[in-house]
Structure 1
Amino acid sequence: MPINKNALIRYKTIDQCLQNRSRKWTLEDLIDACRKALYEYEGIEKGVSRRTVQADIQLMRSDKLGYNAPIKVVDKKYYTYEEPKYSITNIPLTTQDLEKLNEVSEILKQFKGFSHFGDLRVMVQKLEDKISATRNNLRPVIDIEKNDNLKGLEYIEIIFQAIRRKEVLEIWYQSFKAKRPGKILFHPYLLKEYRNRWFVIGSKGEGHNFELEREILGFGEGMKVLSPDKLKKRIARNLRNASHNYDGL
């Protein structure tokens, strides 16, 4: 059963209230707590109805969401958990939950080369520990192509940050026909992964995608560029220049 964000906020709020046994909770108290939580997290000012919170409590008591919360009413007025240590956050993971968590873990592990992964690594390890402790023989069903030995991965983060900050990069670039590399000012605006290789698209006066052009030239006569015209003309020019290396044969 799908849960929307507002409903999840209400469930967690009710759960936190009922865990707090230092005070007694009436239905009006729970409604007020949900109203404050929705305003704090979502900026919703219209509040929440009595009927909605009553329906939330009934749903939490049922097994539709897997909660089966032992909510009872004391003195026909106060709501509390019959089991003092109960919380909806402590319910066991279902098989479907474990499968989805495993898929997420496998995807997150692919993002190496970014500084963000330093934070993700801890989260992934915790996720894997949880999965392993619950289900030790879970077979991965996602295999993402990757090449950890690819040269230049250490520059991905630098380029990524330059794109975000709209910074110009000073790089050394050597074309096929050049005898030595030359320094250029490069304006990057897109990082793209294609066929297990990383490309940076940007400009130095006009748009250039150096790696993509190399990929196209690598196909030789087996590849024809139809558009855009600028790329088509550059590839044609590069091929003509390359053919001069074989003059006299």
Structure 2
Amino acid sequence: MEWQYCAVALRAQTASFRNPDFQNFQKTFPLPPPTTVVGLAGAALGLSPQAAQAYFEQTPFRLGVRGGARGQARDLWKYRTLPGRSVITRELLVDGWFQLVLGSPDHKLVGELAAALEAPVQALTLGQSDSLAKVVRVELLHGETESERCTSALVEGDVLAQVLAQAKWGQGFSLTVRDSDPMAYQLPTRFQYKSAYGVRAVVQRRLFSFVGAAGVHLPTAPLRGVHWGDEFIPTFDL
């Protein structure tokens, strides 16, 4: 059966996706990781975090994430120094825009997701409870495509390693050191929950790259994904 995708465009005044490698300083990822998107979709459906994860395990799903922000800021999250605690500064993305696509061969589930995102049961947030997300547009997309280039997106695997490997085959490439270059992290993709809204523990991680506005060009390994208007959004298995 042909894959169908639910595409949703979001805007948010602030967003923060915590990088767990930082402790007293809560640095944010530039884009929402897979588990954040699963939680957001679950909130739209009225599901608990545990039930949201189970929802996307009932049938094959693919996810795509693209977006950016106009700026960044730092918020003094915890300001009282108490025994055993430290002052914590949290990094925020300001005036963010995000394009999410969730697809499956089960068109009924995709249609259910689209309807939920147009009329969410619970408030939609991006990484923290006070970062409310506004749904700008929801659209159903049919079929998939490939592209050698992507920008401002989340891509599975170490994209930087793929770019460097192209040199072996005589492919042109360029590399600079700046925030918009690909950054690879082992991101959580599944949790084990003690209860529907209880404590959770990471049980699965996968390697992903955050590709900035400068983009990447991969002529030897085209990316699978979907086109939404003029933009290509790479996708990966949930």
Fold match (TM-score > 0.5) = no
- Does 1 or 2 have the higher relative contact order (CA < 8 Å, sep 6+)? 2
TM superposition score normalised by structure 2: 0.19
Larger strand proportion of the pair: 2
TM superposition score normalised by structure 1: 0.18
